Homo-oligomer: A and B are copies of this chain.
Amino acid sequence: MAAKKVGILGATGTVGQRFILLLSEHPIFTIHALGASSRSAGKEYKDAVRWKQSKPIPDNVKNMIVKPCEAELFADCDVVFSGLDADVAGDIEMAMLKKDIAVFSNAKNYRRDPIVPLIVPTVNSDHFDLIPHQRSVHNLKKGFLITNANCSTTGLVVPLKALQDAFGPLSHVIVNTQQAISGAGYPGVPSLDILDNIVPHIGGEEEKMEWEVGKILGGVSENKNGFNLLENTIVSATCTRVPVLDGHFETVSVKFANDCPSVEDVCKALENYSSEAEKLQCHSAPAQPIVVTYDADRPQPRLDRENLKGQTVTVGRVRKCPVLDIKFVLLVHNTLLGAAGSSVLNAEIAVAKGLI
């Protein structure tokens, strides 16, 4: 199979930089075009970007000329990954879609669109079933638009899905996040705000978490033209920013609609959970969507965020919750599975399903 040509929108941003690292040596994708704002367009990538990764800029990308994010300039791409900010993502991604391009977006703009799948790759890849309907609505042959979830939502829904599959619906979820600074991009969080400090507010984040869970854990409608949002799983989120570079940490309490399973059964269900991404043998699929730790003081961001190349969710401290049923803590790499890693794996799934 010939490598698929990919474009990266918002290529100079934090998520864009992760896309470049993930795709520069990818077995089925090859970086073909880079898009960024007009300030960067026309420059070589190495001159346009403020590179903030600990690995250097890949050689095959350094001298690529950055383009403006105009759809016609990406028309020869098989796939476009978007790390654009929400204030520009809406128009640009729609223009790309209308050019019949397969678009994988990290932005929030279309997550609530009733015909756009919101896919966490190790959770609800069955939502790709809606693509034929989406294409017919937009009158497309090969293009489509997929979004991935908010980084904190992503970490949460993987274990929730495992629990829902094993024990039936969850009635209530209370989640608290301690989110890494890389989630805010660059320049992002001022150091004066976060050294020796916690910021107990991230604009819009709690609302996203409370809503997105219902779309992701819900199903596709019978005739594949819409989504059945979960209505009986209530989520309450509190989101904070902490002085950690990478890795969102979350504490979670859940209540089951049915009987509460034992801690042992919960651990077993989390460990045994597997997703379609592994079955399709996708390159970026983790060996396990969930790693369960039994050490009392794990997971920790610095030690566990790179687990399974940052594509798994690490769950620990599973125990009874005196108020709801079960509580646990989790860690997700916010710019890998929580952002660029989800998009890339979603695209691999789409290729495996013959959609690209």
Contact = CB atoms under 8 A, between A and B. Distances in A.
A343 interface: no
A251 B302 CA distance: 23
A253 to B, nearest CB: 6
Contact of A300 (B178, B189, B200, B323): B200
- Interface centre among A198, A235, A249, by most B CB within 10 Å? A198
Category for how many chain A residues contact B: 35 or more
A54 B193 CA distance: 12
Contact of A242 (B203, B242, B297, B305): B242
A251 to B, nearest CB: 4
A301 interface: yes
Interface in A230-256: 234-236, 238, 240, 242-245, 249, 251, 253
B317 A201 contact: yes
Q: So how many copies of this chain end up in the complex?
A: 4
A234 B190 CA distance: 36
- Interface centre among A181, A253, A297, A301, by most B CB within 10 Å? A297
Nearest to A297: B201
Given A174-B323, A303-B52, A306-B54, A192 B199 contact: no
A276 interface: no
Contact of A302 (B54, B187, B190, B305): B54
A194 B197 contact: no
Given A198-B244, A240-B329, 20 more contacts: A52-B192, A52-B193, A53-B303, A54-B303, A174-B323, A188-B190, A189-B192, A191-B193, A191-B243, A194-B195, A195-B243, A195-B244, A196-B243, A197-B244, A200-B298, A200-B300, A201-B297, A236-B322, A238-B251, A238-B329
